[in-house]
Amino acid sequence: MEVAMRRRALYKGTAPPWKETYRQRCVERLKNSRSRLLDRYRQVGENGHCAMRGSFLVQEVMEQELKALHCMNTNLLSLWHKDAFSQALDLLEDPDELTILKEIEQELMLEEQSMIEEIENVLAFEEKCFHSAIGLNAENQMVCPVCKRNNLTVKEHFIECPCGVHINTHVTSSNDCTAAPITLRRCFNRTPVPVPALPSVFSWYRTGRK
């Protein structure tokens, strides 16, 4: 308690020297974790959860950077004897440290939400692009070229059929709709059930009609 009081008196009216370093490192680590954020976001979507309370990576990023600062012998003393980051936040001895960490946490959550919105916009554009490229919509369903009974459905980068067809049509460039038919053709060529003729999706794409 005396240590915490001395530190509060030392930094009264000013930010502790570790705050800005820690904040910058957290923001940088979060921005460099876009691919992991996308993976987490997709996992949540695939599990049927349209919205997730809290954050995907913020707590993990803050914990990793706290450990990194500890290795640099930064004076954030009241945290180091705790076993977990969440426990540290709950049991902080210094209320000033708690206020600082909560402020940084809120900033990171806003940054993460901005990144998620970008991901949602890209995924929505890609889905619209795929639907347009293969001519698959509510008014123009395409019959599966393998079973020739069921209509194909599109979910993000996947084209599926109840017969078991499951094709990842992910295009490396979100603006390149023209690659979708090529990707589909390769996928159909690798299906265990031979497709006797070129699926109509490819002739439709080239001629503009089904």
| 57-66 tens-digit pLDDT | 998 898 888 8
- Does residue 197 belong to any structural domain of this protein? yes
Q: What is the mean pLDDT of the chain?
A: 68
For residue 111, the model assigns a pLDDT of: 94
pLDDT at 176 exceeding the cut of 50 = no
Q: Which domain-ending residue is among 101, 124, 147?
A: 124
Q: Which residues of 119-153 are buried (b: 16+ CB within 10 A; e: fewer)?
A: eeeebeebeebbbebbbbeeeeebebbbeeeeebe
- Does residue 49 belong to any structural domain of this protein? yes
In 18-94, alpha helices (H): 18-31, 34-46, 58-71, 85-90
What's the helix, strand, coil split of the chain in %, to 5? 55, 5, 35
- Does residue 201 belong to any structural domain of this protein? yes
- Does residue 129 belong to any structural domain of this protein? no
Q: Which two tokens stand for residue 100?
A: 């600082």
Is there a single domain that holds both residue 106 and residue 142?
A: no
User: For 170-199, what is the mean pLDDT?
Assistant: 50
The pairing of strands 166-168 and 153-155 is unpaired
User: For 123-141, what is the mean pLDDT?
Assistant: 66
